[in-house]
Amino acid sequence: MDGDGPAAMRYTEARLTKIGEEMLEDIDLETVDWRPNYDNSLVEPTVVPTRFPNHLCNGTMGIAVGMATNMAPHNLTEVLDACVMLLGNPDATIDDIMNIIQGPDFPTGGQIFGSGMIREIYAKGKGSILCRGKVHIETTKNAQLIVIDELPYQVNKAKLVEKVADLVGEKKIE
């Protein structure tokens, strides 16, 4: 949330969670092509086969050939429930799916502004979601304070604090 770079390799260790292990359970079943890694010391899969649509749960962001894509993250349980429903009913409608997945699930919280557009975005496969933070006011003996409870998705906390400090320095807010 602060935009810090990753720690040096000597400080990091990676282990799979149980769900990560589940995602890779069938990787040795020759379901995907493999290629040499960057220094030809190992081989790696060209794509990662997975047992559930991880990209819907974690969201994705990328750009290629002049086209950008951002996919918002969604709740794992809701995505799996929708997958099971679709397996039993391949003719399910967007409304049927939206009875289960009502919208994105942002890890930092926030509130979707104009949530009525979500159905149209899901139906067309494109659109924008505007997310705003959640705040509340606390009153002390000396002042009223705006307390930020949730940040919009992908807002850099350190840059937000910097911007607030700039506004205070410019006497635009107290």
Catalytic residue among 11, 38, 122, 153: 11
Active site residue 11: yes
User: How many alpha carbons lie under 13 Å from residue 77 in its C-beta half-sphere?
Assistant: 0
Q: Enumerate the active-site residues.
A: 11
